[in-house]
Amino acid sequence: MNIETLFNALPGAVAQGLIWGIMAIGLYITYKVLDYADLTVDGSMATGGAVCIMLMTNGVNVWISLVCAVIAGMLAGLATGLFHTAMGIPPILAGILTQLSLYSINLAIMGGRANQAVSVTNYDLIVSSRYVRDVSVQNPIFITLIFIIALIAILYWFFGTELGCSLRATGANEAMSRAQGINTNLGKILGLMISNGIVALASALYSHYQGFVDVNMGRGAIVIGLAAVIISDVVFGRLFTNFALKLVAVAIGAVIYYIVIQVVLWLGLDTNLLKLLQALVVALFLAVPFWKTKLAAAKKGGKADA
């Protein structure tokens, strides 16, 4: 176990963590703001990359391709929202149905191929792992930070508007929101569209970073996103109470997650056990708040007996 090997791998872990942090911010909107369990992300995490990469390989400008990727993700969110609100399908099942549909759709977008490579030599990629150790404006860490700052600023502004507040009210108390005249179904659909649009943005950037898009790229994305959200809540929950800071904490949570994974792999874990490790890390951070509550209750009970 050479410590230099770990330090050399850390820039890549931070860059990937930041990109997945964008995805986790999208998940935060449904999981925390809307109080909606959305599993669409496992599909839309591949859709954004597929749309962006295929458009680029057909000569479309990289920024236009990126916008189209976001729109494709929003359409995926729209489908889930309509499944739930117009057809009465439960949230989890609605997400699963969209996720399953997106597998075939993503294959169709990619011309029936399971993956599509793009080289930074031949295409103007926004981020690339080739420059992850460079001290320059091409470094994906620097570029992704700009995306995160801009995204958080936009979301902070939007959720301060009347429409954004109606979405937050829908998640906080749907029955009361409906009683106040808020169209909660529209709020859910809009929230799902925004969430999956952000996930698709992360997908496109991740495809650029790794130099290819794969139809299975989104498999397990929900686990990574939830890990980032839970880690941010456990580590920064009491420190960050402002909405914008909570979004910052989610991005940091994704970075922490990837650093933990990188350290464990450096310690010699079999890569075949990586999915098991990811599940255990999420389970651990999910359990921490419960253990804290139990411990506080036990201490309170002990003082009462005394």
Closest CA to 118 of 136, 107, 130: 130
Answer whether residue 305 is part of any domain.
no
Answer whether residue 215 is part of any domain.
yes
* CA gap 134, 141 in Å, rounded: 10
Please give the backbone phi and psi of residue 77, each rounded to the nearest 5 degrees, phi first: -65, -40
* CA gap 188, 264 in Å, rounded: 38
Write the CB contacts of 149 (distance below 8 Å, at least 6 apart in sequence): none
Answer whether residue 221 is part of any domain.
yes
Q: Looking at residue 291, what is its pLDDT?
A: 85
Please count the structural domains in the chain.
1
Answer whether residue 302 is part of any domain.
no
Q: Looking at residue 305, what is its pLDDT?
A: 59
pLDDT tens digits, residue range 156-214? 999 999 999 999 999 999 889 999 889 999 999 999 999 999 999 999 999 999 999 99
Q: Which residues pair with 225 in a beta bridge?
A: none
Please give the backbone phi and psi of residue 47, each rounded to the nearest 5 degrees, phi first: -60, -45
Answer whether residue 13 is part of any domain.
yes
Q: Residue 55 has which token pair?
A: 């458009």
Q: Looking at residue 303, what is its pLDDT?
A: 63
Q: Looking at residue 274, what is its pLDDT?
A: 80
- Is the Cα dihedral 263, 139, 24, 54 positive or negative? negative
* CA gap 93, 81 in Å, rounded: 11
Q: Encode the chain in three state secondary structure.
A: CCHHHHHHHHHHHHHHHHHHHHHHHHHHHHHHHCCCCCCCHHHHHHHHHHHHHHHHHCCCCHHHHHHHHHHHHHHHHHHHHHHHHCCCCCHHHHHHHHHHHHHHHHHHHCCCCCEEECCCCCCCCCCCHHHCCCCCCCCHHHHHHHHHHHHHHHHHHHCCCHHHHHHHHHHHCHHHHHHCCCCHHHHHHHHHHHHHHHHHHHHHHHHHHHCEEECCCCCCHHHHHHHHHHHHHHHHCCCCCCHHHHHHHHHHHHHHHHHHHHHHHHCCCCHHHHHHHHHHHHHHHHHHHHHHHHHHHHHHHHHHHC
Over residues 281-304, mean pLDDT: 78
Answer whether residue 303 is part of any domain.
no
Q: Looking at residue 302, what is its pLDDT?
A: 66
The mean pLDDT value of the chain amounts to 90
* CA gap 167, 162 in Å, rounded: 9
Residue 253: give its domain's CATH number.
Answer: 1.10.3470
Domain containing 170 equals: 3-296
106: left (phi over 0), alpha (psi -120 to 50) or beta: alpha
pLDDT tens digits, residue range 102-132? 999 999 999 988 889 898 888 889 999 999 8
| Cβ count near 197 (within 10 Å) | 23
Candidate from 75-79, 146-150, 239-243 with smallest mean pLDDT: 239-243
* CA gap 168, 32 in Å, rounded: 9
Over residues 44-54, mean pLDDT: 94
Q: Residue 53 has which token pair?
A: 């990469």
Alpha carbon 295 to chain centroid distance?
A: 31
The proportion of the chain whose per-residue pLDDT surpasses 70, expressed as a percent, equals 98
Answer whether residue 306 is part of any domain.
no
Question: In the structure, what pLDDT confidence band is assigned to residue 49 with cuts at 50, 70 and 90?
Answer: very high
Answer whether residue 176 is part of any domain.
yes
